[in-house]
Amino acid sequence: MPKSEVTASLDQVRETVTGVIADIRERGDDAVRAYSEKFDKWTPESFRLSDEEVEKIIASVPQQVIDDIRFVQDQVRTFARHQLDSLREFEVETLPGVRLGQKHIPVQAAGAYIPGGRYPLTASAHMTIVTAKVAGVPRVVACTPPIHGEIPAATVAAMHLAGADEIWLLGGVQAVAAMAVGTDTMRPVNLVAGPGNAYVAEAKRQLFGEIGIDLFAGPTEILVLADERADPFVCAVDLLSQAEHGPDSPAVLITTSRELAEQTVAEVERLLPGMPTRDFAGPAWRDHGQVHVVDTLDELYALADEFAFEHVEVLTAEPRLALERMSQYGALFLGEGTCVSFGDKVIGTNHVLPTRGAARYTGGLWVGKYLKTVTYQEVTDTDSQALLGRLCGRAARVELFEGHARSGDVRAARAAGDELPWNTA
């Protein structure tokens, strides 16, 4: 797409999202209902599902699907709990009677957006809701759109089993805006997480600051790193596995073998026509697919870090070398036995990951995103109060903050009898 068309498209997305958010701020539920009718042809009496409705919907889901959802959520829950265990609260005495501490407090309400446009992304319920609940978030509001006027039963089941406190059949900008600003029927949340289309991503961008968000998400990306030992068939299958997310999803191969590069391209061209999702995967490979041949593994890892992609699959003789050589990626998938699709669907790590180069400054969604790391301090020793009070007075006056200085002076005066020449009373 020419740059001018891309810019025009982005401008249209921004303008549309700005208008929807403003309207929902003004008209609340009436606006939400109007946009749900406009975009999803969906206007039930209540967008929020009752407990009875949830139970009825879950009863329609095959038992094997329910069992699989439970298994995958157990994997996500286990990994999130290990993440939580890695976070340490502490209190340390730095001077006599000076205690400094750190606590982790969960946000009090989180919104989980589970997409349902091209595909019902059931797994996104695991990633956003289970992780929030492990963090201790007391209220999780989960939204997902209807699909062609139908209730996505498996997604509703996943939302419920993950621990959602409220389940709403509501999609798009109207869902994100309602969760963020609140309406008469939906209390606002403090943070919104979850993937979505360009409109959902733009809504999160515009609302960031008023609420927290997980990260800015763009089209799904896959980078396959391969040496001459890799199987071109596996490379091709895995590249296409992510290309099917959408026509703008980049799929890139970097290899030290020209022969493997050529064979992989041939395999992609052979497999693509038979893919049920070729209408998405085909344009993605045509417009955003890349193949790079380099001379050495050092060049391979250096180029991979320049891409800073969301998913990096390492199909080399020693895949764990990537842990030492790379620093810019959303998630690594090491060895032929580990595909990106495992991370997307079943293995337990979070699939909400940075795209569009954001891996240069952030990782993906994790239990810590739902926690506020806060500090506290206490000074009970009079000698320390005097020491810090005098120091505060001097340091603040260097910066011309007389009010700060006087606050320190008072502590020194109370603790050690220091004079307060500025207090003429």
Please give the Cα distance from 23 to 178 (Å, whole number).
11
Position 119 scores a pLDDT of 76
| Residue scoring higher pLDDT (425 or 208) | 208
| pLDDT recorded at residue 217 | 82
Which neighbouring-strand residues pair with 251? Answer: 222, 289
pLDDT digits (tens, 9 = 90+) for 247-259: 999 999 999 999 9
Average pLDDT for 65-78: 98
pLDDT given at position 9:
83
Query: What pLDDT does residue 398 have?
Result: 98
pLDDT band, residue 7 (cuts 50/70/90): low
Q: How much is the average pLDDT of 278-296? A: 97
- Token pair, residue 392, equals 């505060």
Distance CA 317, CA 225 (A): 11
Q: Categorize the per-residue pLDDT at 55 as very low, low, confident or very high, splitting at 50, 70 and 90.
A: very high
pLDDT digits (tens, 9 = 90+) for 148-201: 889 999 999 999 999 999 999 999 999 999 999 999 999 999 999 999 999 999
- Report which of 66, 68, 166 is spatially closest to residue 113, judged by C-alpha positions: 166
pLDDT band at 10 (very low <50, low <70, confident <90, very high): confident
pLDDT grade, residue 293 (50/70/90)? very high
Render pLDDT for 341-391 as a digit per residue (tens, 0 to 9). 999 999 999 999 999 999 999 999 999 999 999 999 999 999 999 999 999
pLDDT at 129 over 60: yes
- Alpha carbon distance 194, 116 (integer Å): 12
pLDDT at 8: 55
The answer to whether residue 45 scores a pLDDT higher than 60 is: yes
Q: Which residues are catalytic?
A: 310-311
Mean pLDDT (the chain) is: 96
**Predicted TM-score of the model (pTM):** 0.93
SS (H, E, C) the chain: CCHHHHHHHHHHHHHHHHHHHHHHHHHCHHHHHHHHHHHHCCCCCCCECCHHHHHHHHHCCCHHHHHHHHHHHHHHHHHHHHHHHCCCCEEEEEECCEEEEEEEEECCEEEEECCCCCCCCHHHHHHHHHHHHHHCCCEEEEEECCECCECCHHHHHHHHHHCCCEEEECCHHHHHHHHHHCCCCCCCCCEEECCCCHHHHHHHHHHECCEEECCCCCCCCEEEEECCCCCHHHHHHHHHHHHCCCCCCCEEEEECCHHHHHHHHHHHHHHHHHCCCHHHHHHHHHHHEEEEECCCHHHHHHHHHHHCCCEEEEECCCCCHHHHHCCCCCEEEECCCCCHHHHHHCCCCCCCCCCCCHHHCCCCCCHHHHEEEEEEEEECCHHHHHHHHHHHHHHHHHCCCHHHHHHHHHHHHHHHCCCCCCCCC
Tell me what pLDDT residue 117 has: 73
Predicted confidence at residue 155, as pLDDT, reads 97
The torsion angle over the Cα atoms of residues 105, 106, 109 and 110, rounded to 10 degrees, is 140
> What percent of the chain shows pLDDT beyond 70?
98
pLDDT digits (tens, 9 = 90+) for 89-123: 999 999 999 999 999 999 999 999 999 877 788 99
Shortest CA distance to 220 belongs to which of 145, 174, 129, 288? 288
